[in-house]
Structure 1
Amino acid sequence: MFRALLFSSLFLLLAGCIEQSKQQQMLHQAVAIESRDECHLCGMLISNFSGPKGQLFRRGITEADGEQVKKFCSTRDMFSFYLDPENKRNVSTILVHDMSKAPWDAPNDGYFIDARQAWYVVGSEKTGAMGKTLASFSTKADAEAFASEFGGHVIDFDGVDYQALQ
């Protein structure tokens, strides 16, 4: 009886580790933003603008297409692309800058985080490449502090919709 219980516990622990490993493998590493990279949505040079940037990995139409990284000059442009139902269902990973660590004027490729886990400030006085943008943060406390200083309100990933992009 004890052996069966011990075996069951070890099996569940191992299954949990395997599942966590699969989830970690699904999250891609950010691809460096090069000086010539253009925004997938608007075509502007990404590195010419301040504020948080975004990247997403979209599954190809066929298996041979593999996954393609799409880079965006702002979180607003990235979400405008992502929220289209055709795109949304084909996206495996979404990344945004953690603005609690990255300087607003020159976000760094080392500070990308999982957009699904991030907190966003909507309606702040800070602007990005296309004007209004969603400031992205790894913690709710940092997002709230930013909103206190620059205005706006805090939402999570599920709260991002077309109205939040206005």
Structure 2
Amino acid sequence: MVAAVGMTGVTGLAGCLGGESGASAPAAVTLPDDATCDVCGMVIANHPGPSSEVFYADEQPNGHDNPARFDSTWEAFQYDFEHDDWDREAFYVTDYSTVDYEIHTDGGQQLISRHTGEETFVDAETVTFVADSEVAGTMGADLLGFSERADAEAFRDDHGGELVAFEQVTETLISQLGR
């Protein structure tokens, strides 16, 4: 599935993600225990899977201060695509290369652990994602970020999926995840 999407539309959609993060970007923050996802409204800390946070200049996502908060990576991309007229300052995702993650089985589904501390986040533009592996997050299949490409390759070899770079994440790919 992901291979079919592959590079389709990458050139056209890569710029649709908004601004670029850089040296002046806000630093990642620890998500509060009661923080809810800005797409689905679920309490992030109560569920497994990757967390994401996105900072926007001069915006208040869902009426609260930055960052916009998400209980899945694909929802963060979805939100960012929907707000492509906002100036994105930073996009952070869980870095599974630096956390001591766990995979457990619940109801026959393999789930990966949640991490919400500021030290667990990394700039999404610098990671290699494993998309659509057999390991799920809160909202099903997801994009799991690894700052070390070798870690992403090893995870993919063990759990399936496809390797995807930030600029390869398209609206088509997002529409196929988590459903």
- Are 2:39 and 1:41 equivalent residues in the alignment? yes
Is 1:91 equivalent to 2:100 in the alignment? Answer: no
Aligned-partner SS, 1:87: coil
**Hey, what does 2:5 align to over in structure 1?**
none
Query: Counterpart of 2:80?
Result: 82
Partner Cα separation in structure 1 for residue 128 and residue 92 of structure 2: 12
Q: CA RMSD in A?
A: 2.2
TM-score, length basis structure 1: 0.77
Q: TM-score, normalised by structure 2?
A: 0.71
Cα distance in 2 for residues equivalent to 1:23 and 1:37: 25
Instruction: Give 3-state SS (helix, strand or coil) of 1:35's partner.
Output: coil
Question: CA deviation digits over 1:50-75, x for unaligned, max 9?
Answer: 1111000012259xxxx721110110
Runs (5+) with no aligned partner, structure 2: 1-20, 102-111
Measure the CA separation in 2 of the matches of 1:23 and 1:78.
Answer: 19
Q: What's the CA shift for 1:105? A: 1.5
* SS, match of residue 131 in structure 1: coil
Question: When the two structures are aligned, how many residues end up with a matched partner?
Answer: 140
Structure-1 separation of matches of 2:85 and 2:55? 11
For the pair shown, which has the larger CA radius of gyration, 1 or 2?
A: 1
Q: CA deviation at 1:126?
A: 0.9
Cα distance change on mapping 1:92 and 1:120 into 2, 3 Å: same
Structure holding more helix per residue: 1
Corresponding position of 2:28: 30
Q: Give the drift of 1:156.
A: 0.4
What secondary structure does 1:100 align onto?
coil
Aligned equivalents of 1:68, 1:61: Cα separation in 2:
8
Structure 1, 67-76 or 132-141: larger mean CA deviation: 67-76
Q: Which runs of 5 or more structure 1 residues have no equivalent in the other structure?
A: 1-21
- Higher RCO, 1 vs 2 (CA within 8 Å, ≥6 residues apart): 2
Tell me whether 152-161 or 95-104 shows the greater mean CA deviation.
95-104
Question: Shift of residue 101 of structure 1?
Answer: 2.1
The SS at the match of 1:71 is strand
8 Å contact from structure 2 (residues 39, 75) kept in 1: yes
Tell me how far apart the structure 1 counterparts of residues 24 and 149 of structure 2 sit (CA, whole Å).
25
Do structure 1's residue 114 and structure 2's residue 112 form an aligned pair?
Answer: no
Q: CA deviation at 1:111?
A: 1.4
Q: Residue deviations 1:55-113, cap 9 Å, x none?
A: 00012259xxxx721110110110111122x3364211000010122213132412100
